[in-house]
Amino acid sequence: MTYAFAVLALTLILWLAFRARFSFRRQSPETYADTGPAFDIRRHLNGPIHCEGVIYGPLGTVTSRFTADMQGEWAGATGTLAEHFRYAGGGTQDRKWFLNVANDGTFTATADDIIGTGRGVMSGATVCMNYRLKLSDDAGGHVLDVTDWMYLMDNGVIMNRSEMRKYGLRVAELVATMRPAA
């Protein structure tokens, strides 16, 4: 029994080390610095945008599907992104981001359901942003640590992948597409 426990413990340690080194959160903006087309949120998150996506729960099954209409508006380095989500279960949600871009490609983001200030960086064809999201009371009121990665495709579509964690454990993942609305 001791040998089996040791093998199990070693396997778990190796798996955790592999995940820590090669997981979603280990991506770095520098990795994408030389990729194109260049993603500039002032340009690509401007005007009307349509979005569709799914949210996966901690066991990897789809827990929610949604569509969203967004409207980005910019005045120089300051902008807003208004989002209106419609969930397959019938619910809706609105969020308005307030964004400020610095000269070095970094930016800050705030919204009513964001704890503190989100921080992001544009790098090559990607945008990465980290923030703390407070879920509504009817969704449990939990505070989640969120990492968003957005990848600009050659045709202007944005692929968005977000990972949500609580106490360091992944509790949800979002995958969505965002495209300029007709």
Burial class from Cβ neighbours inside 10 Å (0-12, 13-18, 19+) for residue 109 reads buried
Task: Read off the pLDDT of each residue in 125-147 and give the average, rounded to a whole number.
Answer: 91
Q: 112 near 91, Cβ under 8 Å?
A: no
Cα-Cα-Cα-Cα torsion 129, 92, 59, 132, nearest 10 degrees, comes to 30
Q: Which pLDDT belongs to residue 105? A: 93
- Would you state the pLDDT for residue 27? 78
> Is 167 contained in some domain?
yes
Q: Among 2-16, 61-75, 167-181, which stretch is predicted with the lowest mean pLDDT?
A: 2-16
* pLDDT of 139 above 90: no
Q: Could you give the CA distance from residue 51 to residue 128 in angstroms, rounded to a whole number?
A: 18
Is residue 16 one of the residues assigned to a domain?
no
* Domain presence at residue 22: no
What pTM did the predictor assign?
0.84
pLDDT at position 92 is 93
- pLDDT score for 127: 97
Q: How many domains, the chain?
A: 1
pLDDT-derived band of residue 11, with 50, 70 and 90 as boundaries? confident
Domain limits for position 138: 29-180
pLDDT at residue 31, as a whole number: 85
Burial of 151 (0-12, 13-18, 19+ CB in 10 A): middle
2 found inside a domain: no
> What average pLDDT score do residues 74-101 get?
96
Q: What is the pLDDT of residue 19?
A: 53
Quote the pLDDT of residue 24. Answer: 64
Q: Does 87 reside within a domain?
A: yes
